[in-house]
Amino acid sequence: MLVLDLAKWNQTPDDLRKEAMHAPHPRTRERFLALYELARQRRGASSVARATGRHLQTLIRWVHRYNDAGPQALVFEHTGGVPPFLTRRQSKHSMN
């Protein structure tokens, strides 16, 4: 069974909801809301994953991150990705 260790981080399900409501990035909000649904025990992990449009393994990973490192581990950080073919300056220049 997938269980959040809220006591370890001195939090309640309502704290997860508050974190979601005040998070600046949509991905962070999504993560906290999914864990909030799971913590309320009204839905199982599979149901929460389906409702959020995420794979079950993704939800499990979020729970493990939270349990291991706390709420800060769920905050979205842009890690890069494929660099753009043109820089913004080059793109603006080519449009003229």
Give the model's pLDDT for residue 33. Answer: 94
Grouped pLDDT means (10 residues each) for the chain, 96 residues = 91 95 95 93 86 93 96 90 73 62
Q: How far apart are the first and last CA of the chain?
A: 59
List the domain boundaries for the chain: 7-74
Determine contact, residues 62/31, Cβ cutoff 8 Å: yes
Provide, for the chain, the percentages of residues in helix, strand and coil under a 3-state DSSP scheme, each rounded to the nearest 5.
Answer: 65, 0, 35
